[in-house]
Structure 1
Amino acid sequence: MKLIIIVFAFIFFSSPSYANEAAKCFEKAWGHPEIGGLGLHRGGAIELCQGATKANEITNCYQKAWGNPENGGLGLHRGGAIELCQGATNANDTTKCFEKAWGHPDNGGLGLHRGGAIELCRKPIK
């Protein structure tokens, strides 16, 4: 009986937080840049935010990944930035991993191509 109560409590109390995080992520991702959003189209925002548990980490990761390298971004195209940042729980760790993986071996990097660096550093989506 105690196990049933614990399982019920876990499901009841944990599911809404995931839903709230996914909704917060979607609002920022789909929102217009003039009001602080990322300006993604609806499908891209859904893909980025599906199953989100840490909305701010995902959107911060996306901003860095898609940002212009002259402004400290990684310069990934939208699809690559979405793929890298889906499910991110720590934006800094995810983007640092990508920088190391994509970096040239002469500069301490791993020398992977962009797709390989994304694959190595993204959080697997279930």
Structure 2
Amino acid sequence: MDGALSLGLPAAVVGGAVIALLLGLFGGGGSVLATPLLLYVVGIDDPHVAIGTGAAAVAVNAGANLAVQARGGQVKWPCAISFAGAGLAGSLAGAALAQRVDGQALLGGFALAMLAVGLAMLRPVR
């Protein structure tokens, strides 16, 4: 195991718990928080590996969150299935494209996308 990663394992455990809590609480934030945490705190040095690792962890946490929300009757299944299907297609295309893009360019695009999302969230909900 890589030395930086072994030093970052406690951070990965704490960070994973906090990210999962926020994902369950707000319904989002998983990969938005996981990728930077894995890169800058845990010590993974390859953005592609951080993205894949974060996606795996977030998928498990999202599945658990879905189970709880579904048991509580909080899922509109027709909408969820449509959204998930389109999301799956976008996810596969994005993952294939990401493999062809330099890691630093991915991080720059990620930062711009998060800035755009953050600014959009400051607007009142209609």
- Point out the structure with the larger helix share: 2
**TM norm. shorter chain > 0.5:** no
Short-chain TM bin: under 0.3
Larger Rg: 1
